[in-house]
Chain A
Amino acid sequence: MSFPWAREYQPTNGLMKFFDEKLPLPRLVYNAVGAGYPVPRNLSYFWNFGVLAGFFLMVQIVTGVVLAMHYAANSEVAFFQVEHIMRDVNWGWLMRYAHANGAHFFFIVVYFHIFRGLFYSSYKAPREMIWLLGVVIFLLMMATAFMGYVLPWGQMSFWGAKVITGLFGAIPLVGEPLQVWLVGGYAPDNAALNRFFSLHFLLPFVILGVVILHVWALHIPGSSNPTGVEVKKESDTLPFHPYYTAKDGFGLGVALILYLGLVFFLPNILGHPDNYIEANPLATPAHILPEWYFFPFYAILRAFTVDFILSAKLWGVLAMFASILVWFFLPWLDKSPVRSGHYRPMFRKFFWFGLIPCMVVLFICGGAPAEEPYVMLSQIATAYYFLHFLVFLPLISSIEKPEPLPYSITEAVLGTDEDAKLPASDAAKA
């Protein structure tokens, strides 16, 4: 489905005509990211991050497949194989640093993408399915990144794997046998490393599949926009190509400069030095930390320190999973008919002065050692996190008085819209 004024694909030569008749792939591309996809004309640079996320997924798949050619998932040799890639494989260091930092940038752009979705309520009808698929992609990314971090078989690989797989042990009754079954032993070893490698290779292609569904679902209602007012007519939109291909091209250039700047000049800055020490089950690191992109969720996991009917550990596990699962219910928790945070005074205050500081505190506490004052701070932030999504957001949406919205995207961009002056019934026809 698309808007009635969407341009139709016209094959310009015999070959394209042939394809269009037998397998209309050119038409598919034209309608997906070409001139056949009308997009709101007022998108800000916050709308660049979807394309960037797709780009970094491809970077990860390409560099990952090359790395897999030189890697060996065996706990005896994995650490050595990674060093073999770094030292002996032609451009191996580039592939590995591009892959490690590609994961960091994949998360950075996806966090911007989620931030955009939360501020502009991109999860609201008619875009619920896009949001739900997005949360699925994020969960798959977390699993993939976690397993990928285990593969170099350094100290943080091993101890991170031990802590995270240990979470299953918190489940009552079946916890411990389940954990042993999942890990393939009492602690992560060769069996775990092998299955993590297998899944780490598989999951990116599952992500790619869900991304295709995500983009498909996007093309049903079309893109959202900073005003949150739906597209009404042709003057509200521009064709994706050339307007947004050009804008995304520029955004991609900026992202690549930052990304490759890190790859070539500071490739280890976002990693942990302990992962250059080979895994040793007998030597526990002083602080076991996940990668930075898990810090907020790690802080929530560790915030529960006192048993309360259930064990503290189980509460932590439940809260950590709940902190992401709650996103699945956002379309139904936030009932405000206004999408954009720009027109929601109360929502905006809770967003900037509540949710954002809360996430910053959780991020800092997740990366800090488990001691005061970090534990107490993370407990307050965890409480706010759940209150924000489950209590405040529904309440705000029922009591808030939104600011007046522009009549249309055209009015928001041009300052006036002739149709706005027509009686409502005529405007609908126009």
Chain B
Amino acid sequence: MIRIGGFLIGIGFTVVVLWSFAVGAYNFATEEKVGAAEYEFHKKPKDVSFEHDGAFGKWDTAQLQRGYQVYKEVCAACHSLKFVAFRDLADLGYNEDEVKALAAEWTVPGIDQDTGEAITRPGTPVDYFPSPYPNDIAAAAGNNNAIPPDLSLMTKARANGTAYVYSLLTGYGEPSEELKAKYPDFSTPPGLSFNEYFPNLNLAMAQPIVIDDQVTYADGTAATVDQMSKDVSAFLAWTAEPTLIERKQSGWPVLGFLLFATILAFFAKKQIWSAAKPKKAE
């Protein structure tokens, strides 16, 4: 009974799915293939390397400090960083007083302790980075209807994220001749910018890092567009996972111990099983 029922059910599913296949194959064969510019000309992120890459990577704190400066002077105009608190900046190599001073440079929402009225006040280390907009509607209204995403987790929220952010920042330009020849209808609507590292090629964010020396670095590093883009990408890798280096460093002793224990376990197993080794029949 089970086998007859199973046979019928099996044949039933097969017929139905092959019917889907036949219709799909017919459509596939007869329909005209429509290519898409964003499918063909979207590029994978550039190859770029950072101090914190690899199993032995470490934060380049000077670079993170520069990246913080780029975020503060460029990105923060539109993008929030809501999962990061000022106290976290201590990771970047600042001491307690420096963190307090950095926090105080920001204005955060507060409450007047005497009247209870909503006010703004200078930030303290326990505060989180403030949002540049009071709400999403204000954010969308000021940006061509596209809400600038929060950047805290950006490098983890995209495939190969740190390289993606760097590529996007340095990837603005004009559509290539090849693209224009193949897709004459392709255009970049007003208010959007062409960027071949963005999935649909037209990005609502105008080029944020435009010219060299847009930021004046405190440590005297030459602030080229490439350098600033790289620095802020490294900074965002840190905001996405401040525990990255702690994680990799604690991994080594764990793996070392496990390797040792597993080798011991291997020889223990060999030793124990030698008692049960098949003895050749005489």
Contacts and interface: CB of A to CB of B under 8 A. Distances in A.
A87 B247 CA distance: 12
B250 A264 contact: yes
A315 interface: yes
Contacts of A97: 247
A293 to B, nearest CB: 20
Interface in B145-174: 149-150, 152-153, 156-159, 161
B243 A390 contact: no
Interface stretch (B6-14, B58-66, B110-118): B6-14
Contacts of B268: 246, 249-250
A319 B241 CA distance: 41
A306 B23 CA distance: 7
A376 interface: yes
Interface in B208-264: 240-243, 246-248, 250-251, 254-255, 258-259, 261-262
Contact of B281 (A263, A276, A333, A416): A416
A386 B20 CA distance: 15
Give the contact-size bracket for chain B: 35 or more
Given A246-B269, A372-B24, A414-B278, A306 B19 contact: yes
B6 A383 contact: no
B258 A260 contact: yes
A243 B273 contact: yes
Given A253-B265, A326-B6, A376-B28, A386 B157 contact: no
Given A242-B272, A379-B17, A329 B2 contact: yes
Contact of B248 (A257, A264, A322, A329): A264
Nearest to A379: B21
B83 A87 contact: yes
A41 interface: yes
B18 interface: yes
Interface stretch (A109-117, A185-193, A220-228, A265-273): A265-273
Tier of interface size on chain A: 35 or more
Given A333-B6, A379-B18, A387-B10, A264 B156 contact: no
B90 interface: no
A304 B156 contact: no
B269 A250 contact: yes
B191 interface: no
Interface of B: 2-3, 6-7, 9-11, 13-14, 16-21, 23-25, 28, 55, 83, 88, 149-150, 152-153, 156-159, 161, 199, 240-243, 246-248, 250-251, 254-255, 258-259, 261-262, 265-266, 268-269, 272-273, 276, 278-281
Given A246-B269, A261-B251, 16 more contacts: A80-B83, A83-B153, A87-B243, A246-B272, A249-B265, A249-B268, A253-B261, A256-B262, A260-B251, A276-B157, A304-B20, A305-B24, A319-B17, A329-B6, A394-B7, A414-B278
Interface of A: 41, 80, 83, 86-87, 93-94, 97, 238, 242-243, 246-247, 249-250, 252-254, 256-257, 260-261, 263-265, 267-268, 273-274, 276-278, 286, 303-306, 308, 312, 315, 319, 322, 326, 329, 332-333, 335, 372-373, 375-376, 379-380, 382-383, 386-387, 389-391, 394, 413-416
